[in-house]
Structure 1
Amino acid sequence: MPELPIIAALPALRAALASNARVVLEAPPGAGKTTVVPLELLAASWRNPDDKILVLEPRQLAVRGAAARLAQLLGEPVGRTIGYRVRLDSKVSQETRVEVITEGILTRMIQDDPALEGVAAVVFDEFHERSLNADLGLALALDAQAVLRPDLRILIMSATLEAQRLGQWLPAPVVSSAGFLFPIDTHYLDPRRASSLPNKPNERLAELVPAQVRAALNTHAEGDILVFLPGVGDLQRSAGKLTDALADTVDLHLLHGELPLETQDAALRPARAGRRKVILATSIAETSLTIEGVRVVIDGGFARVPRFVPRTGFTTLETVPVARAAADQRRGRAGRLAPGTCYRLWTEAEHHNLPAHRPPEIHTADLSSLVLELALWGATEPTGLRWLDVPPVAAFAQARELLLRLGALANETKVTPHGRQLAALGLPPRLGHLVVRGQELGYGAAAGALAALLAERDLLRWASPTDTRPMLPDLRLRLEALESGRPPLPGLALHHATLQRVRDVARNLQARQRQAPAAAGYSAAQAPVGLLTALAYPDRLAQRETHDRLRLVTGQRVSLNTTDVDPQAEFFAVAHLAGTAAAPRATLAAPLGKDELELAFADQITTTDEVGYDVAAQRVSGRRVRRLGALLLSEAVIGQPDPALVSQALGTYLQEAGLSKLNWTAEARQLQQRLEFLHQQFPASEANPGEEWPTFNDKTLTRELTEWLGPHLTGLKTLADVQRLNLTEPLLARLPGGWNQRQVLDRLAPAALEVPSGSHIALDYSDPAAPVLAVKLQELFGLTETPTVAGGRVPLLLHLLSPGGRPAQVTRDLRSFWERGYFEVRKDLKGRYPRHPWPDKPMEHIPTKLTKKRLGQ
């Protein structure tokens, strides 16, 4: 057993596991927990000699690496005491007692055998990565332990997780181990250099990484260099710039999860004598692995993470700044076996602004697989299990809705036989549905191949490494390449490792579906690729709107250059999306015919009469339409639409266009203002039930237009018809008190007032706080008190007019005007209007609208 820091913590770990079913082990990078702890558990007194220890790792590369190292320590080949199991590959035997597995394998094992018979302990290694599968596996294991297996040990090992929080939540004792790293000299990017770089991560890294690799090779005479980049595309761009720039003694390796095992192993093996390695890696190399020979780490500072948006149902990959905890993990790769150096391609100031930890995947992922697994487990809601972080409500509901649409659930909790088939395939539910339904339609081989293509990384690339154009989105090209093993078009090349992996997955799916492989089974010419894609993504059926834009069945718009897929097609099935939730773009799609769409989704197609207002014709028109969600399949004009729908369409248009489109005669506008005046003067609290004065302001009338005007639109079809409609009756109909309240209206807010001269003068209620009586002052001679409305509550604002009809005085106190203001007005106007009476005693004079001559004076 190697001398590692974890050795000192083993007595405390043994004691904790002897008396507790759950234990947390906190061990920093370099402690040796992955190498030492599984072998220590083999000798535990609480383990039956025939029982297994399951060790969970987050990645296949870590699974194989850990199994190989453990077997080496025992002096055995992998497959005897130490074995491993990953998707499509396993090395186990009847002698195997420590089985290293990927986290998703545990879910299948525990679903098949909830008691985990023959398993003594489950070890969650690198739990701080907080993958969705690890959280699900832990929730199921805790439930099985609580109900069926109280003797089952659960050990959670983590390098950076807040162990005390985890220990309190379980609850469980926390055992801590020291870590060990050789000194690491850390360098940050010069701020002046950073200010001149492009903002886009891929452009920034393409400029920085090759130069830093060359500088590091010149500065450090010994040791290999490990470079962290966010995605495979970044690896390939940097490799293209380095291939011809490295010395003959330097080997360049790529390291990511899609590579063949032998290629990954070559990157991990020590360099040959006299040679050095440069390893361009994704975050796959952050944890669980010790890559012998690495003395220098160059960290690009970014990671590629999936982001699921429940509002749209889209999952897109985003390039985001690395978290500080992950950056520390990456840095530690340089000091595992000797003193090292880390170059961080960001400034020290930027480092302090990085997030402390990356969010758990359960907060950002599509939860459809998790929801299906919980339904199989019998958990009706996620709250029925224990979670360190509970699945988000919106994403959980979105996933359940998808499973109902796919037929995997019969209701919110019951799994259908079809759903059990999907879970057994080990694919995301969408792709499992594609495989099962595709076989039922007679396209099993093509469906399996397509599912494999969609589950893996794109197998196509541009032949030129400097070509940065988006890859052609046509899915049919991938199936052609998969069948022939050759690039489908000039200028394209294949990722041969991905090609082989896709073929392996496809063959495995065919075998599990009990279908004999067919040589031409992948042929795009013989398989309806668009239809098969639509089976997996029924919510991404799309219709062309323009040459570069599609409308999805959900109504969402996505960009796609349709000439890159099929310039004649009207309908498409979209598989993969990129960009942002606000501006998504289709990166994988296939055309499908209208007849295919109508046949496959016949039960979802609706036929409705759509009646709407045609602004150009200024009238209501109707059409009978057939739709699949937001996709328009056909339409025909309706000669005589339903009158109720016509009225509704008119009302909707008027509500959107505004009250100005209505026939607002002076009488109608004054009526509206009188009613609003009474609403403000007589609050609802003062009224008897059914006698309230509702508001009549423009905002309310617009909002409720279809309610008060709708019944009066029956039989009307055009805007001209509407503009002949008298609004008086529709407005009065809003009064809850009926005819009696209308009479009260005339008493409290009369339309006109009879003045002493005998004239009936219309009142102006445009300002509900100050109704106006505008009248020639001679017509009020003899009137001493200001007239009122609202039952005496509100004195009228008198606009006293000259004989010429111009305002001479404004007042609410008529008596005061006669006593003082009148004489100033008379002095000013008598000379201009000598024919009209200007008496010395206006309060005693006969009111008149006539001149003195006509009065006989």
Structure 2
Amino acid sequence: MLPIQSVYHTLVNELLHNERVVLQAPPGAGKSTWLPLQLIKDNHFKRIVMLEPRRLAARNIANFLAECLDEPLGQTIGLCIRGERFVSKQTRLEIVTEGMLTRMLQDDPELNNIDLVIFDEFHERSIQAETALALAFEAQMAYRDDLKLLVMSATLDGERLSTEFDAPLVHSEGRQFPISEVYTPLTNEADWLSHIAPLTLKAVAEQTGSALVFLPGVKEIKAVESALLDAKKAGVIGQNTAIYALFGKQDKSTQQAALKPCDDESRKIVLTTNVAETSLTIDGIRIVVDSGKEKITQYNVKNGISQLLTVNIAKSSAVQRAGRAGRIEAGVVYRLGSKELFERRASHSTPEILRSDISQLILECANWGTTIDDLVLLDKPSVKQIDAAHELLLMLEAITPDGKITALGKKMLSYGTELRFAHMLLKAEKLDTDYPGVYVLAAYLVALFTSQSNRSNDIAVGLSLQLSKPQPSFTKELKLWLKRLKLSAVKYLPLEYLSLVMALAFPDRIAQKRGNGLRLANGAGASLPPDFPIYDDVLCIGDMGGASGQHVFNACKCDLTLIESALPYLFSSKDIAQFDESTGRFIAETHDCLGKLVLSRKPSNNPLSADEKAAAWCKIIERKGWQLVNLDDDAEQYIIRISLAHQFFPNEFPAISKSLLLDNLVSWLSPYLREVNSLVALKKIVILPAIKNLLDWQQQSRLDELLPERLAVPTGSKLKIHYQVDGPAKLAVKMQEMYGVATTPALADGNLALAIELLSPAMRPLQITQDLAGFWSSSYREVQKEMKGRYPKHFWPDDPANAKSTNKVKSRM
């Protein structure tokens, strides 16, 4: 009996009585296989769509369930992934991958004839899964209150999901045999890969059964595979042990060979990526060798580059991987690295939505007719991510300046590929009449990038090499694109149009020479290696990365005249006002620009407006920082008070900090800068009123009530409170003025502690306490004894908690 069966009736009851349900069930519980099949067998739902994050898992689950019913795929059980669709009128359970579900929702927001949508393995937190779930929420609220959503997770915090999604939580135990752990400390972390093959050989020698070896990517798999095959040739591994590679981009037959069970006399070693972490059972595995590494995409908002980085996995992923060893019997996991370092790892990985280019998500929102702020998301992307996405989508003509999707943007979404390449191909098709051959050139260029087969820094040379001696990966991708676009292979490419095609895909990466480096159209910097084959004044850059994210890997020469003729929308003329510190005056110029690149400049004939002056001041303050303005203590304290108020009462107060204010000067400070004509006058601007205007009158009053600027003590003195971002607020006050106060005042409805610094008559610190009652009854005696001798004219009562407060000497009381 599978563990999921014990909670099945509870789960069905919750689904029938709630719009959304969260199921937390570890690997092996049967949630991906037994559960959806049983739901249709019991006729609780007429048609179910189940989202699987990975194509390999989706294909295997669909085939397994179809076999359970003794039917071919496409009847009761359907499958819809990129390049494969097995669905019919008889289909009642359709397994889909992430992009497919989003397209289903965009094409049919009501999801007609679908009763239940299941989000499997939601703990992976892919941006596509979160997008699809957010749109499903919208569909549920706007069109289908009878649509049911089931979110299934193995390692995420089920309580948090339940709270965020306003859904009951059903918890199922997993079926897991005990797993022992073996740690292998490293002396040199950078040399981790060389230890994997020896560790695998050790594990196979010490244990019985087959082994699953987790590695971050295909390159690492190939390296370990080569070492293991050499060991097999040398007789270190028995001939009855087969070695397989398993990753996402393999053909189906190769993947199935790795998944196929061994006979009783054989063993196997499967080298895989995190594609095998969840929703995939490989028979016979009782050994896991975990490198502790994975490859993630990290987006750099400054230059718009997404880099593939190798990082340490989180503990939750390590638990998932280890769990593969305990599915059929007791197993063992060999972990590379010490237990101490393992314990220091993050509990969960950073969600993809917080570290990715969210252009696709923003465009999906625009197509849906909403904004990202309105979507139900576990984590919201940063303002910088949103702004970067808007800038790119504008350059790709996918949205209008006010964020509405364009007709071209709709076509790009339906193209089923990266937005940059969709824009390139769609535009190239239209431009082909004026620039013959540009469409097929675009197809070849997409194949070059998607196959990752470019062997040259010069993209033109890279394409020529693939024409004469194509690599298998390039040939495979090219065939797919030519077939889809209904184009034929060619022997000659019009490379004179290459920069035009590059500008269609990477308009933000057109770069201009600047000193020893380059400046991109999106404002970021870039650097070329000394031996780079081309170094013109302007380049079209393809791939970038490296440790700083600024290293140019490949590019081509840029024909700006050609690009401006074909793509005039990329170019603009702007009147610019700048304050020249050296001369102490404003300069007005007209700049001809491509994005943030200034291609030419000339003096402007238009007089400067007050708004232009204010904008110029904002730019120089952003660049130089707060040193140019008078951000006094009163203003800093007000900022901290609002920040604390947001921390304790997020629904009442906005998030404000010095860095946020500096990033958004135009929205709040520019009205105060319109008549400023010099740096001296700028320094005289009082900032506090501008900061206060960020709150309405009701919020200002509430702030003074919760976190007052001053605190009235029993003598009538109103003393200033010093707030800090971390830690308690502080109040410095003479000890005599606090007599009679038995309890320490609290701030922010008791959420913020107040540390009272009790001072001597000479204003020297005597004691800091957050517990006045405790101080009066204990440490005060020592202070009293010393102070009576030093300040005999002042009042030092024996019962300060009940004495009268004073700010006078005894003779005047």
**TM-score normalised by length of structure 2:** 0.69
Equivalent position of 1:765 in the other structure = none
Q: Give the superposition deviation at 1:390.
A: 2.6
Equivalent position of 2:199 in the other structure = 212
Contact 1:554 1:630 in 2 (8 A): yes
Q: Give the superposition deviation at 1:538.
A: 0.9
Q: Deviations over 1:640-684 (max 9, x none)?
A: 99999xxx9xxx9xx99xxxxxxxxxxxxxxxxxxxxxxxxxxxx
Q: Deviations over 1:37-95 (max 9, x none)?
A: 111121344423xxx21110111111101111111211222222112111122222232
Q: Give the superposition deviation at 1:501.
A: 4.9
Equivalent position of 1:848 in the other structure = none
Q: How does 1:380-779 map to 2 (within 5 A)?
A: 381-442=371-432, 443-454=438-449, 456-459=450-453, 472-476=456-460, 479-480=463-464, 483=467, 486-487=469-470, 494=471, 496=472, 498-499=473-474, 501-503=476-478, 505-507=480-482, 509-510=484-485, 516-520=486-490, 523-526=492-495, 528-544=497-513, 549-561=517-529, 563-564=531-532, 566-567=533-534, 569-580=536-547, 582-603=548-569, 604=571, 606=573, 628-629=594-595, 631=597, 633=599, 703-704=679-680
Q: Which residue, out of 71, 75, 82, partners 2:77?
A: 82
Structure 2: distance between partners of 1:291 and 1:101: 21
- Structure 2: stretches of 5+ with no match in the other structure: 433-437, 622-675, 685-813
Helix, strand or coil at the partner of 1:243: helix
Q: How does 1:190-201 map to 2 (within 5 A)?
A: 190=185, 194=186, 196-198=187-189, 200=190
RMSD: 3.6
Note closer, same or farther for the CA distance 1:526–1:701 as it changes in structure 2 (3 Å cut): closer
Helix, strand or coil at the partner of 1:34: coil
Equivalent position of 2:111 in the other structure = 116
Note closer, same or farther for the CA distance 1:137–1:184 as it changes in structure 2 (3 Å cut): same
Q: Deviations over 1:701-752 (max 9, x none)?
A: 99439999xxxxxxxxxxxxxxxxxxxxxxxxxxxxxxxxxxxxxxxxxxxx
Equivalent position of 2:217 in the other structure = 231
Is it true that 1:301 corresponds to 2:296 in the alignment? no
Note closer, same or farther for the CA distance 1:504–1:168 as it changes in structure 2 (3 Å cut): farther
Contact 2:456 2:462 in 1 (8 A): no
Q: Deviations over 1:773-803 (max 9, x none)?
A: xxxxxxxxxxxxxxxxxxxxxxxxxxxxxxx
Structure 2: distance between partners of 1:96 and 1:163: 31
Note closer, same or farther for the CA distance 1:308–1:94 as it changes in structure 2 (3 Å cut): same
Contact 2:123 2:154 in 1 (8 A): yes
Equivalent position of 1:334 in the other structure = 325
Contact 1:482 1:503 in 2 (8 A): no
Q: Give the superposition deviation at 1:387.
A: 1.9
Q: Deviations over 1:306-341 (max 9, x none)?
A: 122323322222222110000000001111122221
Instruction: Give the letter for the 2:557 counterpart.
Output: P
Structure 2: distance between partners of 1:395 and 1:291: 39
Note closer, same or farther for the CA distance 1:53–1:478 as it changes in structure 2 (3 Å cut): farther
Is it true that 1:378 corresponds to 2:364 in the alignment? no
Equivalent position of 2:743 in the other structure = none
Note closer, same or farther for the CA distance 1:586–1:252 as it changes in structure 2 (3 Å cut): farther
Note closer, same or farther for the CA distance 1:84–1:473 as it changes in structure 2 (3 Å cut): farther
Helix, strand or coil at the partner of 2:33: helix
Structure 1: distance between partners of 2:293 and 2:399: 38
Between stretches 86-95 and 152-161, larger displacement belongs to: 86-95
Q: Give the superposition deviation at 1:480.
A: 4.2
Q: Deviations over 1:606-633 (max 9, x none)?
A: 4989999999xxxx99999865355565
Contact 2:295 2:309 in 1 (8 A): yes
Structure 1: distance between partners of 2:253 and 2:224: 22
Is it true that 1:12 corresponds to 2:7 in the alignment? no
Quick one: percent identity of the two aligned structures?
Answer: 35
Note closer, same or farther for the CA distance 1:545–1:562 as it changes in structure 2 (3 Å cut): farther
Helix, strand or coil at the partner of 1:333: helix
Q: Which residue, out of 31, 34, 43, partners 1:33?
A: 31
Contact 2:536 2:557 in 1 (8 A): yes
Q: Give the superposition deviation at 1:428.
A: 2.8
Q: How does 1:71-110 map to 2 (within 5 A)?
A: 71-110=66-105
Structure 2: distance between partners of 1:554 and 1:142: 34
Structure 1: distance between partners of 2:420 and 2:258: 34
Q: How does 1:284-299 map to 2 (within 5 A)?
A: 284-299=275-290
Contact 1:225 1:295 in 2 (8 A): yes
Note closer, same or farther for the CA distance 1:237–1:336 as it changes in structure 2 (3 Å cut): same
Helix, strand or coil at the partner of 1:6: helix
Structure 1: distance between partners of 2:241 and 2:219: 22
Structure 2: distance between partners of 1:482 and 1:234: 25
Structure 1: distance between partners of 2:95 and 2:447: 25
- When Rg is computed on C-alpha atoms for both structures, the one with the higher figure is 1
Instruction: Give the letter for the 2:452 counterpart.
Output: D
Equivalent position of 1:692 in the other structure = none
Note closer, same or farther for the CA distance 1:385–1:707 as it changes in structure 2 (3 Å cut): closer
Note closer, same or farther for the CA distance 1:269–1:532 as it changes in structure 2 (3 Å cut): same
Equivalent position of 1:348 in the other structure = 339
Instruction: Give the letter for the 1:33 counterpart.
Output: K
Q: Give the superposition deviation at 1:508.
A: 5.5
Contact 2:397 2:408 in 1 (8 A): yes
Note closer, same or farther for the CA distance 1:477–1:275 as it changes in structure 2 (3 Å cut): farther
Contact 2:398 2:409 in 1 (8 A): yes
**TM-score normalised by length of structure 1:** 0.65
Contact 1:611 1:641 in 2 (8 A): no
Contact 1:621 1:641 in 2 (8 A): no
Contact 1:368 1:428 in 2 (8 A): no
Instruction: Give the letter for the 1:458 counterpart.
Output: Q
Instruction: Give the letter for the 1:9 counterpart.
Output: V
Structure 1: distance between partners of 2:155 and 2:423: 38
Equivalent position of 1:313 in the other structure = 304
Q: Give the superposition deviation at 1:260.
A: 1.9
Equivalent position of 1:251 in the other structure = 242
Note closer, same or farther for the CA distance 1:571–1:256 as it changes in structure 2 (3 Å cut): farther
Instruction: Give the letter for the 2:196 counterpart.
Output: V
Structure 1: distance between partners of 2:102 and 2:552: 32
